[in-house]
Structure 1
Amino acid sequence: MDASLFRIQPSLPEPIYRQIADQVRRLVAGGQLQAGDALPSVREIAAAHAINPMTVSKAYSQLEAEGVLERLRGKGMVVAATARRPQPLAERLAQLDPLLHEVAQRAHDLELPGDEVLPRLRQLMEK
């Protein structure tokens, strides 16, 4: 995995370490990262995104404590053998519910019709 593939947005209210941890969890849940897959080093991610290495280290430590990642001597952080296997579609869709509720509420507040919002969502997903 390339360090530049992480999408880090400092302008979001969510802390950067949580953004990193959530992305790793989603990649494992979706099956893009599997047991034994190596993650970029703390330094690689920090350099690629101009963030403090301690921020990345905090995310990795949290994921290690949860059993998602494990530290292998000489290899760095890898997806743990005990990490949850790819989740069924219904479980992955359920993870989107809070965000979809927020989008629906904002669209309603802005008086945007669904037939205008849904094509935009489809367009964004295809990027």
Structure 2
Amino acid sequence: MIKITTAQVWVLDQDEAVRFWTEKLGFEIRQDASFPELGDFRWVTVGAPGQDSPELVLMAIPGPPVFPDSTVQEIKSLLTKGHSGGIFMQTDDVQKVYEDLSAKGVEFTDLPERRPYGIDCGFRDPSGNSFRLMQPLPE
């Protein structure tokens, strides 16, 4: 059997991303390791409390030799516009989470709205990544 263990999002500032995910969203740091021999590469993951996996990798955009400067700029441009993909999350009470996160300064792109599959809203992290938060409707 194959399992998903991690998903990755590009971030512009790993320290800022860690603060966002831990202080605002309440996630836990799972791994945080730096590798000077790899040009100060840092591997940092966060996860939801009480959920072993998957972990979310908060990945800095690598420059040369991994990516040429032109690619780095393209990724940053897409990222800051919110076009770098998305992660979908679930909660039992979207309205409460929306209110709690709004009070902490989280930027919402869509307010909670009832849809055929549940109550749904969207938010962004400080790097521009888009995320969806959904509450399933009772069966």
Normalising by structure 1, report the TM-score: 0.30
Write 1 or 2 for the structure with the bigger share of strand: 2
Write 1 or 2 for the structure with the bigger share of helix: 1
Normalising by structure 2, report the TM-score: 0.29
